[in-house]
């Protein structure tokens, strides 16, 4: 390779899922690559998102299993839960993954700077703490997203998902602001671990992007599990009382709700504040996101962006694909675009729900003539249980062709089952293909091929 006029071929800002993947793949194609990360290598998903959250979801599921255990003949005496044990175990696993991600960069000869990097021109970044300026032929912005904290009095008394993993104690009373992914996942975790949980949302909708039948069922089941909801109640103030506890005042005029922890989970905004993108001629979008074309290229030809910072689909596997496609296209000449069709997703609530493809409302709007198949069943594991919590599938097809447009499920293992079902939806299979498949009995997934 001829000696370059730049320090690196690629400089990546942000060592999260998208940035690390892009850096590693580009280096594998022979590029000289550096990454800057201002917090910890691994990014949101690994350090304070999906991974530690999922470990806490497992902890929450033990509560369910313990409550069922007696029905299966087990006597469990003196079961109790210790938050610091869980918190510290989760933190150790995060440390392990942080080290593994760092090793990945090292073993691929990717230089890394634990520093904040800001763009100072089309081919230059400045490291904030060291003051060093570094040049690169190509810059990739993969700085992810940051929790939005709405404006209201006392919002500094609240925490976000960034802080929730480090709480000193299991809070006795938790108020969660928002009714999206993060709100309902943590509401489920804290409820199962023994906290009193109230979810307060500005509208009367939970999980807006999911099929209405799943949302209604989740609401009913989580209410039955003891989560309280208050809708159409934007926050007015969070007041700190003399004893250190909090009081949440809402704009609907209802009684304030006491809390020990207030978790704000009202969406995440592209992490672009102060990044200096204007020095490369890049104008941010309305939500602070970086506008890009199908190849991840910004308005500046040498600057690209991938992952949540582009505010397309805020999901880790999408960021990874975008980072990978960018590196292949720019450093191996292999042009690949990321397909955003039929992306499966899940909410790790208690119980979880998962979906792929169109909701019933979307399918009706886009295709008109559709067929809807449902299965409402009692998961076998719950058969002995006092809790009447049913599982539910909805499968939507194009009426004429039978092509599957969407599959939706709420119930135990929904995310595991839907990941596999997503292959069929992505491949354009039909209901007849499902009907042709012999059931795997007894399982919950078999309902998928038994719907009539
Ligand atoms: P979501 O977009 O899922 O939900 C945001 C919630 O906050 C909604 O209930 C919304 O209400 C409410 N809200 C939005 N803006 C305001 C505001 N200004 N004031 C008060 N309430 C507001 O956001 P999350 O923070 O839960 O998650 C962010 C993203 O992270 C998700 O969209 C998802 O892509 C990703 N994520 C994915 C997970 C997974 O795959 N399992 C897990 C966690 C996060 P309304 O409905 O009325 O608009």
Q: Is the CB of 317 under 6 A from ligand 1?
A: no
pLDDT at 290: 98
Distance from Cα 264 to the centre of ligand 1, integer Å: 10
| Nearest atom of ligand 1 to the alpha carbon of 181 | 26
Ligand 1 atom, smallest distance to 205 CA: 46
Section 338-364 average pLDDT = 97
Ligand 1 atom closest to the CA of 147, numbered from 1? 25
> Encoding tokens for residue 16?
């999260």
Distance 265 CA to ligand 1 centre (A): 6
Are 288 and 111 a contacting pair, CB within 8 Å? no
* Cα atoms in the 13 Å half-sphere on the side-chain side of 421: 32
Whether 339 is in a domain gets the answer no
Are 181 and 222 within one domain? yes
Q: How far, in Å, is the centroid of ligand 1 from the Cα of 199?
A: 13
CATH number for the domain that contains residue 298 = 3.50.50.60
Q: 166 and 134, same structural domain? A: no
Do 257 and 313 belong together in one domain?
A: no
> What's the CA gap between 429 and 28, in Å, rounded?
36
243 in the same domain as 167: yes
- What is the structure's pLDDT at 267? 98
Position 157 scores a pLDDT of 98
pTM as predicted: 0.97
Note whether 167 and 199 are same-domain residues. Answer: yes
What CA–CA distance (Å, rounded) separates 105 from 231?
Answer: 46
Confidence of residue 400 (pLDDT cuts 50, 70, 90): very high
446 vs 386: which has the higher pLDDT = 446
Residue range of the domain that includes 361 = 351-449
Query: Quick check: 363 pLDDT over 60?
Result: yes
Rounded distance between C-alpha atoms, residue 292 and residue 299, angstroms: 7
Say yes or no: CB of residue 313 within 6 Å of ligand 1. Answer: no
* Mean pLDDT to the nearest integer, 273-281: 98
Choose the catalytic residue: 156, 157, 249, 441: 441
Q: What is the pLDDT of residue 257?
A: 98
What does the pLDDT read at residue 269?
Answer: 98
Q: What is the pLDDT of residue 382?
A: 85
Q: How far is the CA of 4 from the centre of ligand 1 (A)?
A: 44
- Ligand 1 centroid to Cα of residue 311, in Å, is 13
Q: What is the pLDDT of residue 2?
A: 55
Instruction: Note whether residue 441 is domain-resident.
Output: yes
Mean pLDDT to the nearest integer, 227-232: 98
Question: d(Cα 384, Cα 71) in Å, to the nearest integer?
Answer: 6
Do residues 166 and 240 both lie within one domain? yes
- Same domain, residue pair 112 and 206: no
Counting ligand 1 atoms within 8 A of each CB, the residue from 18, 163, 202, 312 with the most, and so the one to mutate, is: 202
Give the integer Cα–Cα distance in Å for 390 and 349: 15
Q: Is 345 inside any structural domain?
A: no
From the CA of 203, give the closest atom in ligand 1: 47
CATH number at residue 436: 3.30.390.30
pLDDT at residue 97 greater than cutoff 60: yes
Give domain status of residue 340, yes or no. no
User: Rounded to an integer, what distance in angstroms lies between the CA atom of residue 119 and that of residue 117?
Assistant: 7
Write down the pLDDT at residue 3: 64
Pick the atom of ligand 1 nearest to 209's CA. 3
Residue 188 beta carbon below 6 angstroms from any ligand 1 atom: no
11, HSE (Cβ side, Cα atoms, 13 Å): 27
176 lines ligand 1 (CB under 6 A): no
Q: What mean pLDDT do residues 149-164 have?
A: 98
* Ligand 1 atom nearest residue 179's Cα: 9
Cβ–ligand 1 distance for 116 under 6 Å, the answer no
Which of 292-296, 328-332, 388-392, 412-416 is predicted least confidently?
388-392
349 lines ligand 1 (CB under 6 A): no
How much of the chain, in percent, has pLDDT values that exceed 90? Answer: 95
State residue 1's pLDDT score. 47
Is 29 designated active site?
A: no
Residue among 35, 107, 23 nearest 327 (CA): 23
**SS3 per-residue string spanning the chain:** CCCCCCCEEEEEECCCHHHHHHHHHHHHCCCCEEEECCCCCCHHHHHHCHHHHHHHHHHHHHHHHHHHHHHHCCCCCCCCCCHHHHHHHHHHHHHHHHHHHHHHHHHCCCEEECCCEEEEECCEEEECCCCCEEEEEEEEECCCEEECCCCCECHHHCECCCCHHHCCCCCCEEEEECCCHHHHHHHHHHHHHCCEEEEECCCCCCCCCCCHHHHHHHHHHHHHCCCEEECCCCEEEEEECCCCCEEEEECCCCCCEEECEEEECCCEEECCCCCCHHHHCCCCCCCCCCCCCCCCECCCCCEEECHHHHCCCCCHHHHHHHHHHHHHHHHCCCCCCCCCCCCCEEECCCCCEEEEECCHHHHHHHHCCEEEEEEEECCHHHCCCCCCCCEEEEEEEECCCCEEEEEEEECCCHHHHHHHHHHHHHCCCEHHHHHHCCCCCCCCHHHHHCCC
- Decide whether any atom of ligand 1 lies within 6 Å of the 41 Cβ: no
CA-proximal residue: ligand 1, atom 38 (nearest): 181
- What does the pLDDT average to over 169-173? 98
Ligand 1, atom 16, lies closest to the CA of 266
For the chain, give the mean pLDDT: 97
Q: What is the mean pLDDT of residues 161-178?
A: 98
Distance from the alpha carbon of residue 159 to the mean position of ligand 1, in angstroms: 15
pLDDT score, position 7: 98
The proportion of the chain whose per-residue pLDDT surpasses 70, expressed as a percent, equals 99
Greatest CA separation found in the chain?
72
139 and 242 part of one domain: no
Structural domains counted in the chain? 3
User: What pLDDT shows up at residue 336?
Assistant: 85
Of the two residues 43 and 4, the one the predictor is more confident about is 43
Same domain, 11 and 107: yes
- Shared-domain flag, residues 31 and 124: yes
- CA–CA dist 399, 405 (Å, integer): 10
For ligand 1, atom 2, the nearest C-alpha belongs to: 267
Tell me, yes or no, whether 80 lies in a domain: yes
Identify the pLDDT of residue 388: 78
Do 163 and 23 have their domain in common?
no
Cis peptide before 239 (omega within 30 of 0): no
| pLDDT for the residue numbered 452 | 85
* pLDDT at position 384: 86
119 part of a folded domain: yes
In a domain, 342, yes or no: no
Out of 63-72, 102-111, 213-222, 275-284, pick the least confident.
63-72
* Best CA proximity match to 141, nearest among 317, 369, 302, 329: 302
For residues 413-442, average pLDDT: 98
Kindly state the average pLDDT of the residues 67-91. 95
Within this chain, do residues 199 and 223 fall inside the same structural domain, yes or no? yes
Domain boundary among the residues 266, 282, 317 is at: 266
Please give the distance, rounded to the nearest whole angstrom, from the Cα atom of residue 184 to the centre of ligand 1: 10
| Residue 341 domain flag | no
């Amino acid at each position: 390779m001829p000696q370059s006029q730049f320090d690196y071929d690629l400089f990546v800002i942000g060592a999260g899922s998208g940035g690390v993947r892009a850096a590693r793949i580009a280096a594998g194609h022979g590029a000289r690559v550096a990454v800057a990360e201002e917090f910890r290598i691994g990014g949101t998903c690994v350090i304070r998102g999906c991974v530690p959250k999922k470990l806490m979801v497992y902890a929450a599921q033990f509560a369910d299993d313990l409550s069922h255990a007696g029905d299966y003949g087990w006597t469990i005496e003196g079961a109790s839960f210790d938050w610091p044990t869980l918190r510290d175990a989760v933190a150790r696993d995060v440390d392990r993954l942080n080290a593994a991600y760092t090793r990945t960069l090292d073993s691929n000869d990717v230089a890394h700077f634990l520093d904040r990097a800001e763009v100072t021109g089309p081919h230059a970044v400045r490291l904030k703490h060291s003051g060093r300026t570094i040049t690169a032929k190509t810059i990739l912005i993969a700085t992810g997203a940051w929790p939005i904290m709405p404006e209201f009095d006392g919002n500094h008394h609240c925490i976000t998902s960034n802080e929730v993993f480090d709480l000193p104690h299991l809070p006795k009373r938790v108020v969660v602001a928002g009714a999206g992914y993060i709100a309902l996942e943590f509401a489920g975790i804290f409820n199962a671990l023994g906290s009193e949980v109230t979810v307060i949302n500005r509208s009367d909708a939970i999980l807006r992007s999911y099929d209405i039948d799943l949302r209604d069922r989740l609401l009913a089941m989580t209410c039955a599990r003891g989560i309280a909801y208050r809708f159409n109640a934007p926050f007015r103030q969070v007041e700190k009382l003399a004893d250190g506890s909090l009081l949440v005042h809402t704009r609907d005029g209802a009684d304030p709700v006491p809390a020990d922890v207030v978790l704000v989970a009202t969406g995440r905004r592209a992490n672009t504040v102060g990044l200096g993108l204007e020095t490369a001629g890049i104008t941010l979008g309305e939500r602070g996101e970086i506008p890009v074309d199908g190849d991840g290229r910004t308005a500046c030809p040498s600057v690209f962006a991938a992952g949540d910072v582009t505010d397309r689909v805020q999901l880790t596997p999408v960021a990874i694909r975008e980072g990978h496609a960018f590196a292949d296209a720019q450093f191996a000449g292999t042009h690949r675009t990321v397909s955003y069709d039929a992306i499966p997703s899940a909410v790790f609530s208690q119980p979880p729900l998962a979906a792929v493809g169109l909701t019933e409302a979307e399918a009706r709007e886009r295709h008109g003539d559709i067929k809807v198949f449902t299965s409402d069943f009692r998961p076998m594991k719950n058969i002995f249980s006092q809790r009447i919590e049913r599982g539910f599938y909805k499968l939507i097809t194009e009426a004429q062709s039978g092509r599957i447009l969407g599959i939706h499920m709420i119930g135990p293992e929904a995310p595991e089952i839907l990941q596999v079902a997503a292959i069929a939806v992505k491949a354009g299979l039909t209901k007849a293909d499902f009907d042709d498949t012999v059931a795997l009995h007894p399982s919950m997934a078999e309902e998928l091929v038994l719907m009539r």
